[in-house]
Structure 1
Amino acid sequence: MTSRAGKRSPGRAVLSRLRFDALGNRNYRRFFVGQTVSVIGTWMESVAQSFLVLQLTGSGTQLGLVTAVRFGPMFLFGPWGGLLADRLDKRRVLLVTQTLAGGISATFGALVATHLVAMPVVYVLALGLGVVNVFDNPARESLVPDLVPRELLLNAVTLNSITVHVARGVGAAFGGVIAAALGLALCFGLNALSFGVVVGSLLMMNSREIARGARPSRQRGQVREAIRYVTGTADLLLPIVMVAVTGTLAWEFPVSMPLLAREAFHGNTATYGAMMATMGAGALLGGLVSASRTRNTLTSLALAGLGWGSAITAAALAPNLAVEYLVLVGVGYGSITFSSLAKTTLQLRADPAMRGRVMALWAIAWLGSTPIGGPIVGAAGEHLGARWGLLLGGIATLAISVAAYPRLRAIDRREAEGPAPLG
């Protein structure tokens, strides 16, 4: 008979396996802190922008179109941003992009505070942020492997995913409270200040400790080369296809969740913030579990997609706000599990000389697909009912995960068996 002292709860078992080894690296630790502050600010601004559009227009379609404009440049020009990340010093690229993004957010806040903002201005500033993100996202994602040794990459990516998802929940909650109590302009202003923290963390890094792999020489066809590389590599192509489908229809929370909060549950910015905070709590739990893993298989990505799709579908059908909060814990758990597995798969399996371009394709699939999905989800929420905006994502995530599972499992089995013995 096992003694009570010898038993451990599942939660304590997970915590006992949780490792923070990557944070022992000085450069990564500074990057981690800067990104945490930045994501909190970004989601405060996201809450403010979503409800600003709804205040100005009352239209879910307009909300989807603004989101599409913000991520349209990534869809169109993402591979060139990834090529630039492969060619240039990623830290210097980020110093420029983060400074520009801070300036745009400050302009947004000033115009809202002075009541000079109008929908054309919203579109122009959203487009400006989108152009900056073309270069910022692939440089930021591909910098992480340069900061830590390969054996710490899974831990670093998972910890980074934890902070992104938890900070998203914290930022959305703060944004909802601040927007409701003190006004939308302050959310934009605080986000502008957060970029200063990121710039400071980048300047404090020791550049001599940042790995510098071989950079591709300048020649024609390097974007096409990356596309051929990914399409010819099944263990890269299948995760990117899964990310593209989920990014198009499921990862549209800035569109689907405000509509759900306002229309289905008759709430406001504070309701939306509380919903995103609940997702953040689930993401924290999922991140703790993910960070305790020591292996990353392709099959686990498909299983994570099945779980996440089920949670999104349940959230779309929740009968009241209490049930919604409960189910959103599962949505947050699933989102970090799926996204961290997909990102780690690509970063570990991509050739280092191609990593920037591969992560740019990931960004196109995850974020750049918004110009397609944002208007679809917004229109569905406006014309079919707010729940349909979320339900589309749940169904799509389940479908692509079911379709990809057999192929991903076959790749895992083949890799486990190893090369056939020579006769």
Structure 2
Amino acid sequence: MNVLLNPSRSAFRNGMFRVFIGGSTLYRTGDWMDFVAINWIALQAGGSGTFLGLVNLCRLLPIFLVSLPAGTLADRYDRRMLLIYAQAGSLVLTLGLSLWMAMDGPLWLFLALIAARSVFSAMETPVTHALLPNLVREQERGSAIAWNSAVLNLSRIIGPAVAGVMLTTMAPSIILWINAASTLAMILVVTAVKPLPSAEEPGRAAIVQDSGQHGAREAWRYIRSESAVQSLLLLAVAPMVFGFPYTSMLPLFTQELLGFGTDKLGQLLSVTGAGSLLCSLWLSLGREARWPGRWLVLSLLGFGVSLCGFMAAPAFGWAAAAMFAAGLFGQAYRTMSRIAMQQQVPDRLRGRIMSIALMDRGFIPLGALLIGLVADMAGVLTAGLLMGTGCVAITVGVLAWRRELWRM
């Protein structure tokens, strides 16, 4: 699993990309502040792990419904304008959530607003992944993906820490107003950036003439013909169902297993983000990884072991160290998986294939709901250990079935 360094591959040398990343940093920080506020309010309002899982089901389930149509649109229309429309819709509904919190509205309306906003968020993600390679040169694409991941993780350090402190003294609605302001700033940034003219393949323009249904069939045909793409999609099941729901369920684990409140919750999320950021920055330096399949498998095994270590933590320091490791290994998997997938697909299919790949996030709320139910019926510790052991067991099972992953 050698890694080669090539400075000419660094996307950060591109001025337009730096503008985009700068705006994205502010936007994602507000988004993570929002994430902490929403989950904490859900736990306090619903009073159970099941309701917390239900909130995250509403937050992420639209991915299954919207991701592929959004990817098809990204292959047919202006990706930059689509991103602006999606973020504008999210902005309006964030304001609606802040008003709901200020007015102490009914829980059903809270769930409805979360689900409606998630539709726009589900549109935004595949469009962003399709647009990102168009902002840089071909040899910089891997670095661009890693820089984008670095921004997500830097914001995961700053956002939860700030939100955790604010929640001790301020109303959660204030945090959502801040998120709305950061979303507006990102809309202005996306309006200013322009894709590179050479980034568009001539064949992509012809897709505008196709129907969305035909475009989806073409994407599925491509997946059926590519064994490597199939293996990457199958491998995603383990972490999405049993691993990554840990961020949604962390308020429950922090409160029930460690006995801490919002300040420690914010610190744990920030420590997790620090591990993820370290990994993303390392990969963003233009490093070219050999044997990506081995990186993916080993990072998932480390991820599962780290989660088990957190659940068994006797003190906060141990828990923080385990969360740092979980962030490091989890991000190694996520970034390498996205890079590997981007390298497998042509630009004319990029929006659709990436939207299918990004649908794996839709398993997260199902996993959160499952873990929440187990926590209510069998105990929080049992539910937490199920996350780590499930991640390891399914990864080993997929590797035994698709051995080409190790040779990828």
Is contact 2:100–2:110 with CA below 8 Å preserved after alignment? no
Match of 2:37 among 20, 35, 48: 48
The 1:316–1:17 alpha-carbon spacing in structure 2 relative to 1, beyond 3 Å, is farther
Q: Which residue of 2 aligns with 1:172?
A: 160
The 1:59–1:165 alpha-carbon spacing in structure 2 relative to 1, beyond 3 Å, is same
* 1:305-384 pair list within 5 angstroms: 305-365=300-360, 367-384=361-378
The 1:241–1:22 alpha-carbon spacing in structure 2 relative to 1, beyond 3 Å, is same
In 1, the alpha carbon distance for the partners of 2:382 and 2:71 equals 34
Match of 2:189 among 197, 201, 213: 201
Q: Which residue of 2 aligns with 1:282?
A: 275
Match of 1:92 among 81, 91, 94: 81
Is contact 2:238–2:392 with CA below 8 Å preserved after alignment? no
Q: Which residue of 1 aligns with 2:94?
A: 105
Residue 185 of structure 1 aligns with an amino acid whose one-letter code is: S
1:25 correspondence with 2:14 = yes
Is contact 1:235–1:408 with CA below 8 Å preserved after alignment? no
* 1:94-173 pair list within 5 angstroms: 94-113=83-102, 115-173=103-161
Deviations 1:167-222 (A, max 9, x none): 11221111111112212111111111110121111111135547223142323432
In 2, the alpha carbon distance for the partners of 1:284 and 1:174 equals 17
1:394 correspondence with 2:388 = yes
Deviations 1:52-72 (A, max 9, x none): 111212011011111111212
In 1, the alpha carbon distance for the partners of 2:20 and 2:172 equals 28
The 1:230–1:152 alpha-carbon spacing in structure 2 relative to 1, beyond 3 Å, is same
In 2, the alpha carbon distance for the partners of 1:412 and 1:142 equals 27
* 1:264-303 pair list within 5 angstroms: 264-292=257-285, 293-296=287-290, 297-303=292-298
In 2, the alpha carbon distance for the partners of 1:315 and 1:17 equals 36
The 1:19–1:33 alpha-carbon spacing in structure 2 relative to 1, beyond 3 Å, is farther
1:247 correspondence with 2:240 = yes
Is contact 1:283–1:333 with CA below 8 Å preserved after alignment? yes
Is contact 2:308–2:384 with CA below 8 Å preserved after alignment? yes
Structure 2: stretches of 5+ with no match in the other structure: none
Is contact 1:166–1:280 with CA below 8 Å preserved after alignment? yes
Aligned length: 398
In 2, the alpha carbon distance for the partners of 1:307 and 1:412 equals 16
Residue 252 of structure 2 aligns with an amino acid whose one-letter code is: L
1:228 correspondence with 2:221 = yes
Is contact 2:21–2:148 with CA below 8 Å preserved after alignment? yes
In 2, the alpha carbon distance for the partners of 1:201 and 1:322 equals 39
1:212 correspondence with 2:205 = no
Is contact 1:68–1:372 with CA below 8 Å preserved after alignment? yes
The 1:224–1:381 alpha-carbon spacing in structure 2 relative to 1, beyond 3 Å, is farther
Is contact 1:40–1:168 with CA below 8 Å preserved after alignment? yes
In 2, the alpha carbon distance for the partners of 1:298 and 1:405 equals 10
1:71 correspondence with 2:60 = yes
Is contact 2:134–2:196 with CA below 8 Å preserved after alignment? no
Deviations 1:262-320 (A, max 9, x none): 11111111121111011111112222333343225222211211121211221122222
In 1, the alpha carbon distance for the partners of 2:338 and 2:100 equals 36
The 1:394–1:411 alpha-carbon spacing in structure 2 relative to 1, beyond 3 Å, is closer
Look up the SS of the partner of 1:117 in the other structure. Answer: coil
1:117 Cα shift?
A: 2.5
Is contact 1:239–1:342 with CA below 8 Å preserved after alignment? yes
In 1, the alpha carbon distance for the partners of 2:223 and 2:31 equals 30
In 2, the alpha carbon distance for the partners of 1:314 and 1:379 equals 21
1:88 Cα shift?
A: 1.1
Is contact 1:380–1:388 with CA below 8 Å preserved after alignment? yes
Residue 241 of structure 2 aligns with an amino acid whose one-letter code is: T
